[in-house]
Structure 1
Amino acid sequence: MKAHFLYFLLIINAITLAAQDSKLTHQTEPLSIGEKVTLRSNILKENRVLNIYLPHGYDATGNTSYPVIYLLDGSIDEDFIHISGLVQFGSFSWINILPQSIVVGISNIDRKKDFTWPSKSKLDQDEFPTSGHSTPFINFIDKEVQPYIDNNYNTSKTKTLIGQSLGGLLASEILFKNPDMFDNYVIISPSLWWDDQSLYNDTPKSYTGQKSIYIAVGNEGARAKEAMQRFYDKLVALNTGNTKLYFKFFEKQDHGDVLHLAVYDAFEKIFKKEDQKK
Structure 2
Amino acid sequence: MKPNRIIYLLVAVAFLFLLNACSSDVEPDRIKKFSIRSTNTGTNYDISVVLPNAYNASSLYETVYVLDGNSFYLNTDKIAKLTDKISAKYNKQNVIVVGISSKNDRERDFTPTIYESEGGGSESYTRFIEFELIPKIEKEYSANTTAKSRVLIGHSKGGLLTGYFFTKHPDVFNNYLTLGPSFWWDNYIFFKYEEQTRAANRQKNNLVFLGCGELDPLNALTAIEWNYRLTTFYPNCKHDLQILPKLGHVPSALGNAEAGLDFFFKNKP
Scaled by the length of structure 2, what TM-score is found?
0.80
Q: Structure 1: how far apart are the matches of 2:46 and 2:169? A: 23
Matched, 1:49 2:46: yes
Summarize the alignment of residues 79-94 of structure 1 with structure 2, pairs less than 5 Å apart.
Answer: 79-92=75-88
Q: Structure 1: how far apart are the matches of 2:218 and 2:37? A: 41
Per-residue CA deviations over 1:92-142 (Å, capped at 9, x if unaligned) read: 3xx2375310000011132111101223x4xx32xx3xx211110000001
Could you say which residue in structure 2 is the equivalent of 1:229?
224
Q: Structure 1 residues 66, 221: closer, same or farther in 2, change over 3 A?
A: closer
Could you say which residue in structure 1 is the equivalent of 2:262?
268
Q: Structure 1 residues 259, 97: closer, same or farther in 2, change over 3 A?
A: farther
Could you say which residue in structure 1 is the equivalent of 2:62?
67
The DSSP-based 3-state class of the residue aligned with 1:257 is: coil
Could you say which residue in structure 2 is the equivalent of 1:101?
95
Q: Structure 1 residues 97, 70: closer, same or farther in 2, change over 3 A?
A: farther
Q: Structure 1 residues 53, 227: closer, same or farther in 2, change over 3 A?
A: same
Contact 1:98/1:267 (<8 A) preserved: no
Structure 1 alignment gaps of length 5 or more:
1-29
Matched, 1:195 2:190: no
Matched, 1:256 2:254: no
Q: Structure 1: how far apart are the matches of 2:78 and 2:96? A: 14
Identity in percent: 27
Could you say which residue in structure 1 is the equivalent of 2:132?
144
Q: CA deviation at 1:71?
A: 0.5
Q: CA deviation at 1:40?
A: 2.7
Per-residue CA deviations over 1:147-199 (Å, capped at 9, x if unaligned) read: 11111110123000000001001111111111121110000010112101122
Structure 2 alignment gaps of length 5 or more:
1-26
Report the structure number with the largest CA radius of gyration: 1
Q: Structure 1 residues 76, 194: closer, same or farther in 2, change over 3 A?
A: closer
Q: Structure 2: how far apart are the matches of 1:104 and 1:224? A: 26
Q: Which of the numbers 43, 55, 60 marks the counterpart of 1:58? A: 55
Q: CA deviation at 1:235?
A: 2.2
Matched, 1:112 2:107: yes
The DSSP-based 3-state class of the residue aligned with 1:272 is: helix
Matched, 1:132 2:129: no
The DSSP-based 3-state class of the residue aligned with 1:248 is: strand
Could you say which residue in structure 1 is the equivalent of 2:142?
154
Question: After TM superposition, what 4+ stretches of structure 1 lie above 3 angstroms from structure 2?
Answer: 30-33, 221-224
The DSSP-based 3-state class of the residue aligned with 2:62 is: strand
Q: CA deviation at 1:54?
A: 0.4
Amino acid at match of 2:129: I
Could you say which residue in structure 1 is the equivalent of 2:214?
219
Q: Which of the numbers 35, 39, 43 marks the counterpart of 2:36? A: 39
Could you say which residue in structure 2 is the equivalent of 1:5?
none
Amino acid at match of 1:232: N
Q: Structure 1: how far apart are the matches of 2:66 and 2:47? A: 10
Q: Structure 1 residues 224, 97: closer, same or farther in 2, change over 3 A?
A: farther
Q: Structure 1: how far apart are the matches of 2:267 and 2:216? A: 34
Q: Structure 1: how far apart are the matches of 2:141 and 2:53? A: 14
Q: CA deviation at 1:267?
A: 2.0
Q: CA RMSD in A?
A: 2.1
Amino acid at match of 1:216: G
Q: Structure 2: how far apart are the matches of 1:252 and 1:187? A: 19
Per-residue CA deviations over 1:198-225 (Å, capped at 9, x if unaligned) read: 2222223534542101111111354333
Q: Structure 1: how far apart are the matches of 2:209 and 2:97? A: 18
Amino acid at match of 1:225: A
